Amino acid sequence: MKKILTLVMVSALGGIFTLGAYKLFLEEEKPVLVAAENTNANFLPTSNTNALFSAEEKIDFTVAAENTVNAVVHVKNVTLSSGQFTMQDLFSGRSSERAQMGTGSGVIINSDGYIITNNHVIKNAHELSVTLNNNKTYTAELIGADPKTDIALLKIEADEDLPFVTFADSDNAKIGEWVLAVGNPFNLTSTVTAGIISAKARDLSGTSRQSFIQTDAAVNPGNSGGALVNTNGELVGINTAITSQTGSYVGYSFAVPSNIARKVIEDIMEYGNVQNGILGIQGGALNSIMAEKIGVPDTEGVYIDSVVEDSGAEKAGVKKGDIIKEIDNIKVSKFSDLTGHLSAKRPDDVVKLKVSRDGDIKTIPVTLAKTDIFSMPLVGTIKNAKSSDLKKYNVTYGVKITKLNSKYTDYWKRNGIEAGCIITSINDMKVKNIDDVQKALKAQTDNETLRLEIINSNGDLERYNFR
């Protein structure tokens, strides 16, 4: 009995020492919260979100989703790429061209089968097909596309009236408003995600030419060309891009506003190309640093650094130093606010500018002009020539080079070409204005030599061929 008691005591003491060692050496130290006596907690007021909406008032996405999924389609694009020619190809008589397939989304915009999508979804297409939500597949025809806005228009011939989505006025879309993104991410058809409008007039390029709606609705590869709709199921935008280091959604997605998309496809259907209305100003957005530099009190708006000669802005009385605060009653905080609104306008449209001039606010109606400035990468900036420009070089037609591309300035100057010289022909087509230039370049195939005829500074006709 004594041996048993002794053994129990030894075991107990051993357990105590072991536990003490564990506490001392092995157990993780935990922080201790010490509260002073008689200290009352500070409470911040919070809103009771459950009290904001009754059961009947809570936002319902189901109707918008049901109305949209049947009008969003799966777009398949088959392109041909030239692979390395092998001996097997030689003996079998096969072409070295290989078919590659890309996929995206599209939105039916009327019952006749017109479909809007992204230009990058259908780029370089050899074959285009569209699959509806009911699994019917049709061959699609490309009606037209605009790489600048990344919008394209397709047409299918269906044997029935098709469901479609109506356009909303994207200018009226509000930051914080609920939206749904509908598309085919990762080839998963009819996928609906929800989010809010996070920002408007986003420019991802840094050129102030883009004006995207930013949302936090999940958009992934395959969603491109799909619908961004409001809770009424109306089209607010065309899902176009994400910002991601992984290639997949990380919280930000971007859509072309519906007003811009609608204008582009209407131009394609009516004119065959996009009609751009030009305001005729050059400048930049204001901030505190810029405002201090130029000596103005405003830190928001677009500062006009120069007004283009003979433009609608000049004819309307817009002046250098004016600060654009609003356009058509829409606030202008940054340059993309301005360009985004103008992207939905055409030549001869009238816009109302509210400008600050020497502390006074003025409202100036401006009639937008047709595009008369164009950029040719190998040459530089060109514009429609005046009669005085043509008379200087003793020619009756042509377009004027206004600025040489800095990369090729030395080459052109060695050949007697400088700003003010006249281009008279592109690819053997006479060019009398910017429209002719665009038509000539559009007709050029990828592998075709670019042929230019230019009157040099001495008045001599020079011919150039570029691969």
Whole-angstrom Cα distance, residue 441 to residue 341?
Answer: 28
**Residue 33, token pair as written in the block:** 């919260």
Phi, psi of 355 (to 5 degrees): -120, 150
Choosing from 120, 146, 343, 372, which is the catalytic residue? 120
Cβ-proximal residues to 276 (8 Å cutoff; 6+ apart), any chain: 343, 346, 347, 370, 371
**Residue 120 designated active-site:** yes
DSSP letter string, 194-238: EEEEEEEEE-SSSSS---EEEE-S---TT-TT-EEE-TTS-EEEE
**Residue 360 designated active-site:** no
Would you say 241 and 250 are in contact if contact means Cβ atoms under 8 Å apart? no
Choosing from 150, 267, 322, 337, which is the catalytic residue? 150
Q: Which residue matches tokens 């204008």?
A: 263
Q: Which residue matches tokens 């514009």?
A: 383
3-state secondary structure of 398: coil
Alpha helix (H) residue ranges in 243-382: 258-271, 288-294, 312-316, 335-342
**Residue 416, token pair as written in the block:** 């007697």
**Residue 406 designated active-site:** no
Whole-angstrom Cα distance, residue 264 to residue 280?
Answer: 20
- Measuring CA to CA, how many Å separate 274 from each of 62, 130, 148, 345? 36, 24, 10, 10
User: Which residue, 243, 190, 193, is CA-closest to 218?
Assistant: 193
Choosing from 105, 198, 211, 224, which is the catalytic residue? 224
Question: Active-site residue numbers?
Answer: 120, 150, 224
